[in-house]
Each structure stands twice: as structure tokens, then as C-alpha cells.
């Protein structure tokens, strides 16, 4: 009954394990509130159909009721500028002050203890502390101030170094182990006369691993009982970064009275965004120094003389200009929705921990058919207790040979399955280095190799540069766990799926529930688990289809077998249908005019089939003799667009900039006729743009492998994408779906060149290809670039011979 009441969509799942999950984690507090399920059921029906959202540490989602009630509020009431005194402005002022009180109430404190300073987010709050803290340089009588921070801190905390570097302030990174290991008893009277202010910053919860650091560190540092405070005289203040912690955990500032507490509201509620706050203890406020003063922050000042008196109210003094009052008013409804749907942060903490622990137990026990573990999990605990572990699971996946799988590959496949997660280092280099074993020198070497924060270079010399993170929120469900784990099993596990029974038993013993081991084992195996101790070790020389297809030994592959080119496809407009040809010129960027155009929406954002599936129904064709691009779609009159505009473009053909796969490209608008045609067919404002002929876009660093030609059109990765028919043919039927025919699979792969290889996956080992008279280099995977074109009139033709060289 509980399955059908809470999750009616689970009744047809092939893995009906929800009751098993409740048996294991019911005491962990899985939220069983009908209102929550109904509200998010409507939300998912309207907006999130088919989406598994697992990036709540990035931003959580907002419920439909929140937006609906906020809309009703601003449609009913008139809110004016709070710096005025008219009725609408007084309404705004009073509502904003009420929200300040609700924020303090949420953290179990009062206006007598703390002040709320609204900022644009947690980063702005940290910057405010950095710029206003009373840093002191060394003097003959007293030492310099120290800025000490845990190495497991967000970039925005470490960035405080940039403010203090010129002030003579000591910057000291502290590893998590040092805080308690180097603690010592200090005579509190010793150095009591020293008034040098020091600041220690640490996160209540790591945004990388979800580790929760003891909130008792606040008093321990303030009392100089913990390192580094025990080693330095002076007054110690604590900044507790609550940005990650506050999203799923209760924080009691009566018990843990940090001097500064920054956080962002979008991580707690999903809406509004662009709004955060800094909570400042009132007995600390007088120490802060502020230089710039904006509107609303002055009690009095003179324009013609250097005279300024700050506002007496702490919040008014630090909130320059008009606050984002409508966003603040939205917080009223955010708090209402949170409590109505969940009952409070204690329940949210238990709910999200239960889902995270369940996912951890299964993922950490999952093994390939040869017994090799599937995941390397980065954590300091085994998820035994919600007081020490948050709703974050960080890991990298490994293949059946124990080699790391790049996080970028996981991210791209997850996107195809509509699973939203996050990859990289998550703006926490310290934790990333610690867990991945990346030294300072390696970080610098990776930079020289072309890897920068936020790019997709996930492996350098076979070692990961980052990882994968999934995180849960109060609206996360058991089905989200199932979808993610099934995705891992389907795409990355060599079949048959196996589990580490000993580890499962040990993890099970950490909970009070009994009899649930088999439930965990059957989750991914349809009731037929294989155990590691029963396995037959597979050969490490197998090349395996990740979806469970047949294995082909490398020794069985032919190194000198002839292949032919069977199909040529060009995709004139990115994400639209293919245009098949039998022979086609090779241009400087690849096949001539391949992905030379793209469709953008009214906000100039590139549309793809994930955002707009109807793009696949647009059939562009290129006619070289007439220099035209023909657009066709069912129910629409065909139109022609010139391939090139030789004259000076009119205003409607303006030059603009757009983003393609993270690259900024210069484009030219193709005019109003094409825009009207696309807008009518797609049912939204659209425009057709093409890459500017004067603009050069190169392959990302790390992919070139010293290739001679790296210029790209609007493609994602490289000039050409190939597919081997033999690899496509090697597909097996699942229990629920009939296999697709080969041609349909090739069409879905959207390759430029289709070859008739002799063996499946032999292309994995190719380093060079010769098709006809054109030479290609394999850059990575199934992506090609052509080498220097000896003949400017080079052409590829169906039936041409294909010769390969092995790497």
C-alpha cells in the first residue's frame, strides 16, 4: 500500500524494491507526506517528465506551490522601494523585516544575537567579510592577523587570500586532520592582553564529499582549544560556511554561535536565485570596517566634505543600495512551502540521508562480472550517521580492468538518459587533491597540458582530474536512486552484474534493520544476484560492449583488413536531420558545410534535440551548383537560404556571438525569412545563424594529439564522427525492448562516415585512417580530423577503400 500511495509510478517498475528500501531505512525518516508527493508529482508532470535530478548541491528544485503562491502575492499586493515611506514601500519594508526574523528563527536565534545582511549569494557574503574584517599587520608589540582556512573549503573561501595578500596578514591552510590532532591545552590567561583579530573559516559540510565537520569546532577555535588557534595569541573569530550544510540540515546558532555564517537561498529552496545572506553576531559587528558606502547605508554624509556617518542599524550599514526586495519577499513563501511539505529540517536531513546511504551501499558494492569494483567512492565515512555525512555522494567509475572512466564520459551519457548530475572538482580544489591524490605539481602540470577548471579534460595520463557527484534534496525519491543505479549498471558494468557480499554484510551491520541484505542484492539484478565468490574470472584481454554485448579478444582483431566507406552524411544545420550523399567535397573544417548552421531560441541559446525534439523533423539539403540551403519540413513550404552572403549584411543579417559546447563562436544571422519559417514550425521564436567565415574555432586543448588540422565548424568535438557497422550490429535484445535495426541505430548515432569494418570495436584501437586519398587522424574515440589536404579539391565517395593503422 505504501508503494502505491507514495509512488504510484513505481507500480510497473521492473525493480519493485520500495518496500525493501523502507524496511532498511524507515527509521532514517523517508518523508511520507502526501502533500509533498502530490505537489512534486504535479511539478514533475509539468516540468520534469523523464528527468532524474541529482544536483541538489548545485541548486535544489522549487515546488509548484512556492511559485504559485509568490505569483499570487505579487499580483495582489503592490510592493514599492523600501527606502520610500509611502504605503507600498512600508509594506515592502515590513515584509522584508519579517523575512529577516524568519531567517533567524530558522537557525534558532534572534535579532538580539544576530543580524541578517542580504547579499547576492554566499560568495558575495564571503567577500564582504574579507573586505570588512579588521585585519592587522604585524607591529612591534603584537603579531599580524592570521587568515586560517580548512583545505576542504570552497574556492570562494580560499579566495579571501586575494584580499589580504597586500595587508601583511598571514595565510595558513589547515588540513582536516590537524584541527584535533594538533590541539593542546592553553592557559586562557596567557596572551589575553593580545587583541590581534584572527579569522578561521571552515565548512559545516564539504561540498565535495558531503562530510560534516563538527559544529563544536566553533567554540573550540573561539576558546583557543583547537589548532591553529591554540598556537597563536589574540582574538579568534569563526566563519562557518553553511552554503552546502543548510540545504538539508538543521543549524542551531544558539548552540554553535559562529561569528559569521554565509549561505545562499537557492541551495535551500531552489527559488529565488541570486540571493544570499550573511549572518553576523551582533557582538562582532562593531569590529567590522566598511569603506564604500552606497544608498541607504548612511546616517549622514557631505558631498563637499569628507564627512560620513554610517547607519546605526547593522543590516542597513552593509546593504548598499536597494535590496532585491521581491526576491526577499519570495523567501516568505519558500519558508512556508518548506514547512508545509516536509515538517522541517530534521525530517529533511533524515530523508535525504536515507536516500544517499542507500545509493552508497549499492554503488560501493557493485562489481563487474570479473569481480572488479565499479566505483571508487570519495568519502571519509561509510554513511553510518546523518550527523557526520550529508546528502552528497562523490565517486569515479572504473572499467572491468580497474582503469578510471573519465567523468566527462559519464556526464555525457547521463545527459542522454536525462540524469542531471555534476562533474569536475566542484570549486573545491583542496578536497579534490586530497581524495584523488593530485599533488600541487600535478595541478600545475595539468594546467600546462591544457586542463583548466570547468573544462571536460577528465583524464591526464590516465589519472582523473575530477570526479562525479550526485546529491539529493527533500523532493528526491527512491525512484531517483533506482534510475541512477540502473544507468550505471546498464552503461558501465560488464555483465553479469555482481556484488561484494562481504561489504554488503558489513554495511548492513551498521544499521538496526535485519533481513534486508537480499533486498539490496536483488535491486540491480532482477532477483538473481551473482556474488563475487562465485565468479569465473574473465580474461583481462577482453574488449567488452558496455551494454552487455559479446566480448572480442584483442588478439582476434585483424590489423590489416580492408574496409569500405558505405555511407556519407552531412548535417548542414546542427541537430536537424541528416543529408545523405554519395560523394562530397572535403573542406577546411571537415565535410563542406557540415554543421555550418544552427538554430537559436529567442534568448540566442543554441537549440538541440534535447531542448527541441522537433528539430529532427527539419530536413536541410545543400545544392552546391545554386549555392543554396533548402529547408523542408512536413506541412511547411520549402524555403531557400543562400550558402554565403557576399554583400555587406543588412541589419537582419547581423553578426553576433553564441556558445557551442562551451566555446564562444562568432556567427551571422541568416535573416528574417528563415527565422519566421523556423519559428512557425517549432512554435517558439527562433533564428537561423551560421558560423562567420572570418571566425576560427579550434579543438579544445587536450584533444589535438599534435594533429595538423584543428579548425572546427559548429560540431561538438571534432571534424568527423565515424561509426563501424560491425559495432552497431553487435547489439542484444533486452528483456523489455526489441533491438533497433542497424540503420536506425546509425541514424541515431549521427555519424558523418559509416564504414564496413570487419570486427566490432576494432576502431577503438585505430590511430590513423586513409579513406580514398584522404588521410585522417583519430583524435579520441570515434572522432577524426583530416591531415593536411594535398588536393584542395579532395572528395570522399561511397565505396572508397578504408585503410586503418593501429595505435
At 743, the pLDDT band (50, 70, 90 cuts) reads confident
pLDDT > 90: what percent of the chain?
A: 58
H helices within 286-392, ranges in order? Answer: 314-318, 325-342, 345-365
Does this model's pTM top 0.85?
no
Q: What average pLDDT does range 42-54 have in this prediction?
A: 68
Structural contact between residues 723 and 795, judged by C-beta atoms closer than 8 angstroms: no
For residue 228, is pLDDT > 90? yes
Which distant-in-sequence residues (6+ apart) come within 8 Å of 346 by Cβ? 29, 250
Question: How distant is the alpha carbon of residue 109 from its chain centre?
Answer: 33
Structural contact between residues 97 and 255, judged by C-beta atoms closer than 8 angstroms: no
Q: What average pLDDT does range 224-245 have in this prediction?
A: 96
Q: What average pLDDT does range 118-131 have in this prediction?
A: 96
Give the up-direction half-sphere exposure of residue 768: CA atoms within 13 A in the CB hemisphere: 9
The least confident of 40-49, 250-259, 271-280, 308-317 is 40-49
At 27, the pLDDT band (50, 70, 90 cuts) reads very low
Q: Please state whether the peptide bond connecting residue 496 to the residue before it is cis, i.e. omega within 30 degrees of 0.
A: yes
pLDDT tens digits along 355-393: 999 999 999 999 999 999 999 999 999 999 999 999 999
The least confident of 89-93, 142-146, 302-306, 702-706 is 702-706
At 727, the pLDDT band (50, 70, 90 cuts) reads confident
Q: What average pLDDT does range 407-434 have in this prediction?
A: 94
Of 427, 432, 670, 686, the catalytic one is: 427
H helices within 10-121, ranges in order? Answer: 18-25, 34-46, 64-76, 87-106
3-state SS of 483-504?
HHHHHHHHHHCCCCCEECHHHH
pLDDT tens digits along 609-637: 888 999 999 999 999 988 999 999 999 99
For residue 804, is pLDDT > 70? yes
For residue 342, is pLDDT > 60? yes
534: its cell numbers: 562465485
Ordered DSSP codes for 96-138: HHHHHHHHHHHTT--TTTEEEEEESSHHHHHHHHHHHS-----
The least confident of 301-315, 455-469, 531-545, 639-653 is 531-545
At 33, the pLDDT band (50, 70, 90 cuts) reads very low
Helices (H) and strands (E) in the chain, counts: 24, 43
Cα→Cα distances 426→80, 291, 453, Å:
38, 32, 9
Q: What average pLDDT does range 485-494 have in this prediction?
A: 94
Looking at residue 576, what is its pLDDT? 94
Structure-model confidence comparison of residues 396 and 602, the more confident one: 396
- Rounded mean pLDDT of the chain? 83
Residue 453 annotated to the active site:
no
The secondary structure element, H or E, covering residue 720 is strand 720-724
Amino acid at each position: 500500500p505504501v508503494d502505491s500511495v507514495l509512488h504510484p509510478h513505481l507500480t510497473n517498475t521492473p525493480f519493485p524494491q520500495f518496500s525493501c528500501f523502507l524496511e532498511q531505512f524507515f527509521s532514517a525518516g523517508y518523508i511520507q507526506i502526501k502533500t509533498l508527493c502530490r505537489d512534486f508529482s504535479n511539478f514533475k508532470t509539468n516540468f520534469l517528465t523523464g528527468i532524474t535530478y541529482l544536483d541538489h548541491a548545485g541548486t535544489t528544485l522549487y515546488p509548484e506551490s512556492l511559485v504559485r503562491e509568490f505569483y499570487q502575492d505579487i499580483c495582489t499586493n503592490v510592493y514599492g522601494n523600501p527606502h520610500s515611506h509611502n504605503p507600498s514601500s512600508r509594506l515592502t519594508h515590513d515584509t522584508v523585516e519579517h523575512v529577516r526574523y524568519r531567517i533567524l528563527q530558522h537557525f534558532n536565534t534572534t535579532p538580539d544575537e544576530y543580524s541578517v545582511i542580504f547579499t547576492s549569494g554566499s560568495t558575495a557574503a564571503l567577500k564582504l567579510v574579507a573586505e570588512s574584517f579588521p585585519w592587522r599587520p604585524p607591529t612591534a608589540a603584537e603579531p599580524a592577523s592570521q587568515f586560517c582556512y580548512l583545505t576542504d573549503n570552497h574556492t570562494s573561501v580560499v579566495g579571501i587570500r586575494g584580499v589580504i595578500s597586500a595587508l601583511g596578514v598571514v595565510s595558513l591552510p589547515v588540513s582536516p586532520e590537524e584541527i584535533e590532532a594538533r590541539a593542546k591545552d592553553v592557559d586562557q590567561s596567557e596572551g589575553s592582553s593580545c587583541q590581534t583579530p584572527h579569522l578561521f573559516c571552515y565548512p559545516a559540510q564539504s561540498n565535495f564529499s558531503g562530510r560534516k565537520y563538527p559544529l563544536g569546532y566553533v567554540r573550540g577555535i573561539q576558546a583557543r582549544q583547537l589548532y591553529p588557534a591554540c598556537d597563536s595569541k589574540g582574538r579568534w573569530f569563526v566563519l562557518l560556511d553553511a552554503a552546502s550544510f543548510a540545504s538539508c540540515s538543521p543549524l542551531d546558532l544558539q548552540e554553535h554561535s559562529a561569528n559569521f555564517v554565509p549561505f545562499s537561498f537557492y541551495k535551500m529552496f531552489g527559488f529565488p536565485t541570486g540571493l544570499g545572506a550573511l549572518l553576523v553576531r551582533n557582538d562582532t559587528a562593531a569590529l567590522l570596517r566598511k569603506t564604500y558606502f552606497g544608498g541607504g547605508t548612511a546616517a549622514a554624509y557631505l558631498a563637499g566634505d569628507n564627512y560620513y556617518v554610517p547607519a546605526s542599524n547593522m543590516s542597513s550599514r552593509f546593504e548598499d543600495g536597494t535590496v532585491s526586495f521581491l526576491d526577499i519577499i519570495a523567501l516568505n513563501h519558500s519558508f512556508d512551502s518548506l514547512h508545509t511539505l516536509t515538517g522541517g529540517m530534521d525530517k529533511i536531513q533524515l530523508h535525504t540521508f536515507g536516500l544517499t546511504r542507500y545509493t552508497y551501499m549499492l554503488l560501493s558494492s557493485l562489481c563487474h562480472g570479473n569481480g572488479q569494483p565499479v566505483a571508487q567512492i570519495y568519502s571519509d565515512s561509510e554513511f553510518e550517521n546523518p550527523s557526520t555525512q550529508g546528502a552528497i555522494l562523490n565517486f569515479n567509475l572504473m572499467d572491468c580492468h580497474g582503469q578510471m572512466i573519465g567523468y566527462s564520459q559519464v556526464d555525457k551519457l547521463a545527459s542522454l538518459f536525462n540524469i542531471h548530475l555534476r562533474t569536475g572538482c566542484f570549486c573545491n580544489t583542496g578536497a579534490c587533491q586530497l581524495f584523488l591524490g593530485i599533488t600541487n605539481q600535478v595541478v600545475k602540470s595539468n594546467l600546462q597540458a591544457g586542463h583548466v577548471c570547468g573544462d571536460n579534460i577528465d583524464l591526464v595520463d590516465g589519472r582523473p582530474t575530477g570526479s562525479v557527484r550526485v546529491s539529493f534534496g527533500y523532493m528526491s525519491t527512491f525512484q531517483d536512486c533506482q534510475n541512477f543505479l540502473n544507468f550505471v549498471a546498464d552503461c558501465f558494468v560488464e555483465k553479469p552484474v555482481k556484488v561484494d557480499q562481504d561489504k554488503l554484510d558489513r554495511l548492513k551491520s551498521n544499521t538496526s534493520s535485519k533481513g534486508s541484505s537480499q533486498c539490496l542484492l536483488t535491486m540491480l539484478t532482477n532477483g538473481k544476484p551473482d556474488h563475487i565468490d562465485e565468479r569465473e574470472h574473465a580474461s583481462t584481454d577482453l574488449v567488452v560492449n558496455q551494454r552487455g554485448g559479446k566480448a572480442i579478444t584483442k588478439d582476434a582483431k585483424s590489423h590489416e583488413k580492408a574496409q569500405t566507406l558505405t555511407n556519407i552524411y552531412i548535417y548542414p544545420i546542427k541537430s536537424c536531420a541528416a543529408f545523405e550523399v554519395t560523394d562530397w567535397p572535403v573542406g577546411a573544417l571537415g565535410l563542406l558545410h557540415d554543421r555550418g548552421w544552427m538554430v537559436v531560441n529567442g534568448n540566442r541559446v543554441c537549440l538541440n534535440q534535447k531542448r527541441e525534439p522537433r528539430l529532427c523533423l527539419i530536413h536541410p539539403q545543400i545544392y552546391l551548383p545554386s549555392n543554396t540551403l533548402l529547408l523542408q519540413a512536413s506541412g511547411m513550404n520549402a524555403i531557400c537560404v543562400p550558402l554565403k552572403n557576399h554583400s555587406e549584411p543588412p541589419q537582419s543579417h547581423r553578426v553576433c556571438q553564441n556558445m557551442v559546447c562551451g566555446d564562444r563562436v562568432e556567427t551571422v544571422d541568416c535573416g528574417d525569412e528563415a527565422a519566421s519559417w523556423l519559428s512557425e514550425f517549432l512554435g517558439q521564436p527562433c533564428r537561423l545563424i551560421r558560423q562567420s567565415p572570418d571566425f576560427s574555432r579550434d579543438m579544445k586543448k587536450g584533444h589535438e594529439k599534435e594533429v595538423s588540422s584543428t579548425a572546427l565548424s559548429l560540431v561538438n568535438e571534432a571534424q568527423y564522427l565515424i561509426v563501424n557497422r560491425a559495432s552497431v550490429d553487435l547489439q542484444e535484445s533486452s528483456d523489455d525492448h526489441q533491438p533497433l535495426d542497424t540503420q536506425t541505430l546509425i541514424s541515431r548515432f549521427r555519424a558523418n562516415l559509416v564504414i564496413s569494418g570487419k570486427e566490432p570495436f576494432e576502431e577503438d584501437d585505430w590511430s590513423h585512417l586513409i579513406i580514398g586519398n584522404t588521410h585522417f587522424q583519430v583524435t579520441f574515440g570515434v572522432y577524426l580530423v583530416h591531415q593536411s589536404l594535398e588536393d584542395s579539391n579532395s572528395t570522399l565517395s561511397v565505396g572508397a577503400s578504408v585503410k586503418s593503422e593501429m595505435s
